């Protein structure tokens, strides 16, 4: 009977040991898969609708765009509320959904509603969705160190080369450009000349728009060869814009140059970006996609930057002004060091107070097993490893060993009482 009890006890211990080892291995794998960030993402589950209608006052934006969009988007399923904000030339709508709603399901619902609302908006106002990121999605800011290029050329390099290359990086939702000048052709019309030629501003706009176009013809065959006819009317220089005919009076064409001037300049700006008081800079903001691993995305962006830098003009290089990767590394290393120190201190305290290495070992083993289970649950609930979640684990280490100490002391007490009873019964039997 004694041998059977011992065998059953050893068998159970082996099963528990293998189960604990399996949980520990699973936890190690979960640690590597768990997203790492410096701060927890506490932002609301929102979809942003952005509409641009430049040149209009905030009150007109509110009446013509923001109000119609807000009233129509309020009927969406599983939303908390809809916020609207109007400013000069721009409208922002924030559609807040329930926390358990999938972000891409929410974006689809908003797109479906926008397809029916857009027809009621003014001509030229086209609402579009914001990036599928969150309020803490700005993971990296960079500027261009280009002393040989002016601000317009720097912005062209950023918009037409760097932005397209970095947007292909896995986990990046958007590259938001800032600073510099966006080059454009501007036609400055003289109102006195318009009055003299009896023309209006819409006449000039329509003439420029219709002449900046390309149209296709038909195919015809000649000498057993097929030809496709097309007209190429895209404007490519200031001279071509100046020569556009606006009207014809008494057989004489009235050109754009007759009623105004054409120049290459930058788009009107609402602000500038200055770095360290040394002058204006051009750069971009890397916005991380919802639910991605911030540390991994930053590493991919930096690797892509090295590849992109090979194609930049001579003397142009990246200057990273904000890198959350450094904050993530410092935060995680600090918490990791604290966890190790606490595990060592708690283990020493348990050994000293119990003064029994087998009991202490059974309690100390609970610490890594509990940490493994914690990371398994973090992955299961979609929580990232950040300064808040890791600090919670660090604070709970003392609580983790409490139940083990209580159980060990309780078991030791019961074993001692049984041993005393066994000794007393043996003493009585020997006396008899």
Residue-wise pLDDT for 389-415, tens only, equals 777 777 777 777 777 777 777 777 777
pLDDT band for position 303 (50/70/90)?
very high
Nearest-CA neighbor of 286 among 150, 432, 140?
140
Task: Tell me the H-state helices in 213-293.
Answer: 238-242, 256-259
Locate all alpha helices (DSSP H) within 191-274, ordered by sequence. 191-197, 201-211, 238-242, 256-259
Question: Looking at residue 432, what is its pLDDT?
Answer: 56
pTM: 0.75
* CA gap 161, 282 in Å, rounded: 13
As given in the structure block, the two tokens for residue 338 are 């604290």
Sign of CA pseudo-dihedral 408, 410, 413, 417: negative
Cα separation, 299 vs 305, in Å, equals 10
pLDDT score of 431 more than 70: no
- pLDDT bin (cut points 50, 70, 90) of residue 283 is very high
Rounded distance, CA 72 to CA 90, Å?
A: 18
* pLDDT average, residue stretch 1-29: 67
Helix, strand, coil % (nearest 5) of the chain?
50, 25, 25
In this predicted structure, the answer to whether residue 362 has a pLDDT above a threshold of 90 is: no
Rounded mean pLDDT, 16-37: 80
CB atoms within 10 A of CB 282: 27
Q: Is the pLDDT of residue 197 over 50?
A: yes
95, 49 Cβ separation under 8 angstroms: yes
Mean pLDDT confidence for 13-38: 78
Averaged pLDDT of the chain? 84
pLDDT digit string, tens, across residues 314-344:
889 999 999 988 888 887 788 778 778 877 8
């Amino acid at each position: 009977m004694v041998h059977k009890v011992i065998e059953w006890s050893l068998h159970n211990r082996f099963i528990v040991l293998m189960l604990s080892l399996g949980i520990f291995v699973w936890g190690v794998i979960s640690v590597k898969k768990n997203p790492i960030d410096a701060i927890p993402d506490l932002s609301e589950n929102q979809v942003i609708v952005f509409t641009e209608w430049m040149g209009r006052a905030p009150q007109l934006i509110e009446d013509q765009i923001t109000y119609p969009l807000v009233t129509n988007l309020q009927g969406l399923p599983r939303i908390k509320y809809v916020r609207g904000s109007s400013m000069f030339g721009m409208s922002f709508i924030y559609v807040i959904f329930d926390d358990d709603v999938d972000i891409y399901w929410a974006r689809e619902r908003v797109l479906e509603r926008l397809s029916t609302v857009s027809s009621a908006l003014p001509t030229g106002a086209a609402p579009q969705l914001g990036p599928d990121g969150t309020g803490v999605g700005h993971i990296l800011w960079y500027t261009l160190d280009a002393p040989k290029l002016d601000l317009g050329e720097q912005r062209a390099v950023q918009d037409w080369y760097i932005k397209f290359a970095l947007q292909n990086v896995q986990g990046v939702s958007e590259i938001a450009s800032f600073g510099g000048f966006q080059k454009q052709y501007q036609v400055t019309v003289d109102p006195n000349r318009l009055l003299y030629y009896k023309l209006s501003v819409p006449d000039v706009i329509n003439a420029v728009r219709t002449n900046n176009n390309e149209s296709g013809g038909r195919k015809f065959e000649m000498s057993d060869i097929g030809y496709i006819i097309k007209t190429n009317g895209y404007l490519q220089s200031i001279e071509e814009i100046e020569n556009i005919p606006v009207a014809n009076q008494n057989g004489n064409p009235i050109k754009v140059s007759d009623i105004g001037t054409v120049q290459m300049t930058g788009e009107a700006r609402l602000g500038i970006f200055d770095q360290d008081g040394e002058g204006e800079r051009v750069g971009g903001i890397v916005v991380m996609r919802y639910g991605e691993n911030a540390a991994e995305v930053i590493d991919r962006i930096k690797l892509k930057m090295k590849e992109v830098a090979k194609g930049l003009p001579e003397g142009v290089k990246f200057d990273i002004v904000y890198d959350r990767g450094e904050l993530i590394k410092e935060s995680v290393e600090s918490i990791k060091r604290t966890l190790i120190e606490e595990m060592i201190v708690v283990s020493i305290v348990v050994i000293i107070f119990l003064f029994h290495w087998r009991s202490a070992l059974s309690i100390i083993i609970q610490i890594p097993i509990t940490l493994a289970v914690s990371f398994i649950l973090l992955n299961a609930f979609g929580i990232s490893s950040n300064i808040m979640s890791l600090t919670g684990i660090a604070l709970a280490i003392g609580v983790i060993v409490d139940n083990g100490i209580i159980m060990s002391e309780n078991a030791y007490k019961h074993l001692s009482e049984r041993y005393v009873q066994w000794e007393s019964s043996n003493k009585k039997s020997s006396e008899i």
